[in-house]
Structure 1
Amino acid sequence: MFKIFIVEDDKSLVSLLKERLHKFGFETFAVQRFDTVIEDFEAYQPHLVLLDVNLPSYDGYYWCRQIRNLSTCPIVFISARESKMDQVMALENGADDYLTKPFDYDIVIAKVNSHLRRAFGSYASKDHDRSVTVAGLTLDVERLALFYEDQRLDLSHTEAKIMDEFMKKPGQVISRDRLLEKIWDEHTFVDDNTLNVYITRVRKKLTSLGLSGALETIRGSGYRLHPELEDQP
């Protein structure tokens, strides 16, 4: 049974979320003390997190970063804050998705199922024990990690899927539509800005490995991973 970790201070909303999630066979844990979120997370070991932005003590962005230090499980923000900047901040801090309140609970269930399939279900199973290497850069799909010259860098599920697309076809242009189709399914609306954020995050991580010029933008077409992985200016 999949376990859902809820970090939300609106008790009525928590009650409704738990009721709907239990109906669909999920186990849940709702945080009661907002100064022990990480302790509760480590004790519960959930498969997915539903996380609000506005919380007592520290905001959801802070807790998202702390969870990312421990886990690559899917994190879906649920918030009344609708601005594009809030959604961008959520993604940049490690989230996989963002839902604005008020939301349709059927959409919540669809999002949860979608992310669980990609992280642990049928979509993820074929990735077990698989790695791909291009010019000394290795992506371990199961461990969600990049390795280069004795360096290791952890990725989110979405970042790993993006890198997987590039590394399976080094030197080939991957269109934006291809990335959107491959990484997200029909239950998840993704705009161009969301993809831009993830591409930026992937570039930053490659740069931290010393590969600042490895991922090239091909205007009007998409992106290309240089097979030689040159560190270009």
Structure 2
Amino acid sequence: MFKILLIEDDATLFTEIKDRLAKWSYDVHGITDFSRVVEEFIALKPDLVIIDIQLPKFDGFHWCRMIRTHSNIPIVFLSSRDHPTDMVMSMQLGADDFIQKPFHFDVLIAKIQAILRRVYNYNTESIKLKTWCGATVDYEKNAVTNQAGSIELTKNEIYILKLLIEHKNTIVSREEMINSLWDDQRFVSDNTLTVNVNRLRKRLDEIGLGRFIETKVGQGYIAAEESPFHD
């Protein structure tokens, strides 16, 4: 049974989400003290976090930052606001998905299932290490290491990188990536993939590898093993 931490201060919505997810055998826990979210997160050790943006004390963005200092666990944002910047901000902070309220529960459940299946199934594969552009990519530790240093990626970032490396020097279409990452592109904002890839590229820039994730306009993305057109 997967354990989910639902950080939601609306008691009615919390109960409804908890009851719906319980029918799918998810073990859902809430927050008792919204000034101690990180402490409760650490004590619970959940498999996934669902977090609202508008919360008492501090907003969801703040708690996402704090959680990310401790863990790369999957995070899904909920929001009743319709500002596109909220979705962009959540992805830049390391969220795996963004759902706007009001939402259909089938969409929420589909997204949760896709994330959990992706994150906790691919780590069981026999290949744990991969060499790419002179770097070692550790799928189990979500880390990329080369002579310039080492970075730790989120579950979503490492999965995107893994997908591209498995097809290195070949264009992976946006549609293929979306379907692989989120199972059903009908549930995904067109900007979600772009934000995620840009975030991955920015992290890889820290060790000089961002330039090897190339955008092919109108087609998709490519992980180049060699990039002769860049310095």
**TM-score normalised to the size of structure 1?**
0.90
* Matched position secondary structure for 2:4: strand
Counterparts of residues 49-68 of structure 1 (less than 5 Å): 49-68=49-68
The one-letter amino acid of 1:8's match is: E
Q: Is residue 38–residue 66 contact of structure 2 (8 Å, CA) maintained in 1?
A: yes
TM-score of the two chains, using structure 2 as the length reference: 0.91
Corresponding position: 1:132 with 2:130: yes
Contact 1:159 1:202 in 2 (8 A): yes
Residue number in structure 1 paired with 2:141: 143
Quick one: which of 188, 211, 214 aligns to 1:213?
211
- Aligned-residue CA RMSD (Å): 2.1
Deviations 1:183-212 (A, max 9, x none): 220276223311110111111011111234
5+ residue gaps, structure 2, are none
Moved more, 76-85 or 216-225: 216-225
Contact conserved, 2:107 with 2:187, CA < 8 A, in 1? no
Residue 15 of structure 2 corresponds to 15
Change (3 A) 1:22 1:42: same
Matches within 5 A, 1:1-233: 1-121=1-121, 124-127=122-125, 129-149=127-147, 151-186=149-184, 189-228=187-226, 232=230
Q: Give the count of matched residue pairs.
A: 231
Give the secondary structure class of the aligned counterpart of 2:222. strand
* Gaps in structure 1 of 5+ consecutive residues: none
How many angstroms apart in 1 are the aligned matches of 2:194 and 2:31?
32
Shift of 1:143: 1.5
Q: CA deviation at 1:109?
A: 2.2
| Structure 2 residue matching 1:213: 3-state secondary structure | helix
* Secondary structure of the corresponding residue to residue 147 of structure 1: strand
Percent identity for Structure 1 against Structure 2: 37
Give how far 1:150 is off: 6.0
By how many angstroms is 1:164 displaced? 0.9
Partners of 1:5 and 1:46 within 8 A in 2 = yes
- Post-superposition offset of 1:63: 0.7
- The CA distance in 2 between the partners of 1:9 and 1:113, in whole Å, is 23
For 2:208 and 2:130, how far apart are their aligned partners in 1? 19
